[in-house]
């Protein structure tokens, strides 16, 4: 069994529904926002976009005998004063989150490495971009109607990843972007090297460490690669993952087919992709997060 710990950083607006108070901040300013949060600090916040995901992540600790194998850390732009409502809501929802950084309006990305965070989830695209520049896997949770936040009946945490510019670098995507599909396929078939790592490779490795603690049919985490690639460009992907010693439970090579129905069938708790068009198409049925990395985001 691994003695390391998987650490997730989460922003307050990704964890809880702070839309109402955020509107007060935008329309009436900081002082009105502060007064509103303090006046309502005993009113429990409703779950936000990433709440159910965080619950599932924390539940993994129940499978270990007294060992905290997974930790979630709150990384917030609030002050500790306005953040008291968030802390109270964490307790009311019985979330085991004890460590936090309240940054008083500044980006909390500065502390992701100090806390050893493997994945940072936020509703702020600016904070996410700064975290990725610090070489930490990060993604922007995309907004959707909160009544669509599903509670999966499965106790298994299911995470779906795009390939290029997420698990892998954008090296191959650049060829497709600049020279077209034929040049992309030729490049992949003739390539002698393995794909370079992308921003989420290290997070995938940490997930694998937990997966390796369990027999496959008893594992609390299941992963899927959901990519527009198809044969023959799939071979380089397979060989690269084999070289890294990384296990992906399901690999869907869709050849450009829309990913939405496949993600729903996989029952993904979250999907990571570098292209917003794929996120927009999937977000109504699957909680999705944008990875602002690579040629498509320049």
Q: Which of 162, 164, 170, 273 is catalytic?
A: 162
> Taking Cα atoms as reference points, which of 125, 124, 150 lies closest to residue 13?
124
Q: Which residue has the tokens 């049925």?
A: 285
Rounded (5°) CA angle 121-263-261: 140
Q: Which residue matches tokens 């977000």?
A: 283
Apex CA 96: angle with CA 43 and CA 88, to 5°?
Answer: 20
Measured in Å, how far apart are the chain's first and last C-alpha atoms? 41
| C-alpha distances in Å from residue 98, one per residue of 72, 112, 122 | 8, 16, 18
Instruction: Give the list of residues 6+ apart from residue 269 with CB closer than 8 angstroms, or none.
Output: 52, 53, 56, 152, 157, 158, 159, 287
Say if residues 272 and 163 touch (Cβ distance below 8 Å): no
| b/e map 26-45, b = 16+ CB within 10 Å | eeeeeeebbebbeeebeeeb
| Bridge partners of residue 221, in order along the sequence | 157
162 is a catalytic site residue: yes
CA distance 282 to 79: 34
Catalytic residue numbers read 162
């Amino acid at each position: 069994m691994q003695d390391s710990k998987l650490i997730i950083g989460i922003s307050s607006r990704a964890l809880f529904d702070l839309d109402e108070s955020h509107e007060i901040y935008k329309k009436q300013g900081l002082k009105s926002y502060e007064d509103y949060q303090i006046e309502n600090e005993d009113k429990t916040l409703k779950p936000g976009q990433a709440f159910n995901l965080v619950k599932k992540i924390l539940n993994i600790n129940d499978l270990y005998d007294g060992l905290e194998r997974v930790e979630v850390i709150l990384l917030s732009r609030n002050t500790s004063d306005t953040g008291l409502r968030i802390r109270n809501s964490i307790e009311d929802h019985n979330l085991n989150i004890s460590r936090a950084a309240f940054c008083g309006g500044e980006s909390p990305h500065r502390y992701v490495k100090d806390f050893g965070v493997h994945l940072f989830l936020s509703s702020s695209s600016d904070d996410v971009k700064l975290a990725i520049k610090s070489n930490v896997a990060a993604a922007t949770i995309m907004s959707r109607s909160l009544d669509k936040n599903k509670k999966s009946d499965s106790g298994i945490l299911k995470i779906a990843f795009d390939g290029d510019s997420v698990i892998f670098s954008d090296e191959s995507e650049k060829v497709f972007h600049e020279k077209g599909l034929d040049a992309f396929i030729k490049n992949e078939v003739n390539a002698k090297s393995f794909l370079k790592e992308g921003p989420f490779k290290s997070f995938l490795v940490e997930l694998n460490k937990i997966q390796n603690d369990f027999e496959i049919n008893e594992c609390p985490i299941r992963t899927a690669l959901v990519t527009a690639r198809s044969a023959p460009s799939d071979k380089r992907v397979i060989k690269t993952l084999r070289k890294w010693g990384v296990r992906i439970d399901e690999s869907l090579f869709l050849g450009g087919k829309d990913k939405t129905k496949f993600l729903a069938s996989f029952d993904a708790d979250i999907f990571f992709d570098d292209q917003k068009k794929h996120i927009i198409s999937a977000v109504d049925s699957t909680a999705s997060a944008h990875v602002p990395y690579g040629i498509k985001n320049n």
